[in-house]
Amino acid sequence: MATSSRHLNIVLGVGGGIAAYKTASLLRILKEQGHDVHVVPTASALNFVGSATWEALSGHPVSATVWENVDEVPHVRLGQEADLVIVAPATADLLSRAAHGSANDLLTNVLLTARCPVVYAPAMHTEMWTNVATQENVATLKSRGAIVIEPAVGRLTGADTGAGRLPEPEDIARLALECVHADTRDLAGKSVVVTAGGTREYIDPVRFIGNRSTGKQGIALALTAAARGAQVTLICANVSLPLPAGVTPIHVETGPELREQVLAHGRDADAIVMAAAVADFTVARESMTKIKKSDSEQSISLELVKTPDILKELVIRRDTENLKQIIVGFAAETGDESATVVEHGQAKLDRKGCDLLVVNEVGKTLGFGTDDNAAVIIAREPRTHHEVPLTSKSALADCIWDEVRLQFDRF
């Protein structure tokens, strides 16, 4: 989990929902990372988890009302001094009161006085989450710069299942702390599509052509974009890693499936980042039954054909329809006798016509599956090279979004 480089003063607001019990784990995670956390529950939240629990875990007294410790003016001081406010669970009622500027308890007063990042983690039944009133309140909060994490899909209260489950505490903490770590909210109001992972091109029902991409870089790009205020759609090709809260995930397997989803969701995007490793070749004829291993045959032959060039197709559509969007490609390269890694990347940028190309050298211990990465980010107009030395994939993701931000300024 990405952590902030400094110890923070965090206000943890707790709404009155059954998921409040999971917020105790979130509090413990934040405390274990050295942050000072003041818990501010609503009165209804104390029906689910009492003050004694919050006080024992936080080390601070807990109150839901503005009428305690009045001499310290807590309804103003807590918000003013906070580096970060997290509200989990954020119930439908609490989202409504926050969107309408209510100040009828300590937590809503804190939300009005806070001048730091505010992160809401909603939790409620699916019908309440999808209700037009709730969605309008969420839209209002987002328009004011708040981050509203998309709820998870899963088991709810009773036997119900659907969208509205509180994201896991680890995911909430990671996204919230990334919000503080990000220098600005310079992607607020932008819609971005990020692809991650590696596609599979099936030979038969059990075998496929694939690659070593795990999706770590694409996930880092999605997480940092969300932390910087963007609305993020993450198209995942065979990714088994936990996905970050705060993004909309779409799962695919093959290149054609990824192409279909990128074309569909990318049309209205302000930026598309093609971080997934899409197979360059697929078999000409996929066997519908398992290919048997024969004792008499020592080898088999597969005819391979090129897969569609999704990146180039996106560029052609963008230019043909005069769409105002930034398109970013990735080039996992190895040097050879004809050119260096960067030279191969420059040639690919010219062929594809995308705005930015992120070029990184790959090998058995480079690029795929690692927690860090090094790259050169090449811009088409004006032609520039930004070399990023070995660093975390989250830090590289921030560098890529910095370059995207510069491209936006050209519009």
Catalytic positions: 211
Q: How many CB atoms lie within 10 A of CB 186?
A: 16
Please, which residues have CB within 8 angstroms of residue 115's CB and are 6 or more apart in sequence?
79, 80
Please, which residues have CB within 8 angstroms of residue 281's CB and are 6 or more apart in sequence?
201, 209, 304, 305, 306, 307
With 0-12 / 13-18 / 19 or more C-beta atoms within 10 angstroms meaning exposed / middle / buried, residue 399 is: middle
In the block, residue with structure tokens 């274990």 = 32
Distances (CA, A) of 30 to 78, 118, 124, 253, 295: 17, 15, 23, 36, 60
- Following DSSP, what letter does each residue of 49-67 receive, concatenated? S-HHHHHHHHSS---SSTT
Evaluate the omega torsion of the peptide bond into residue 382 and state whether it is cis, within 30 degrees of 0. yes
* 85 contacts 114 by C-beta, under 8 angstroms: yes
Distances (CA, A) of 380 to 218, 270, 318, 328, 347: 22, 17, 15, 10, 11
The span from the first CA to the last CA of the chain, in angstroms, equals: 35
DSSP, collapsed to helix, strand or coil, labels residue 141 as helix
Q: Rounded to a whole number, what is the largest CA-CA distance in the chain?
A: 90
The span from the CA of 199 to the CA of 186, in Å, is 31
Q: What share of the chain is helix, strand, coil (3-state, %, to 5)?
A: 35, 25, 40
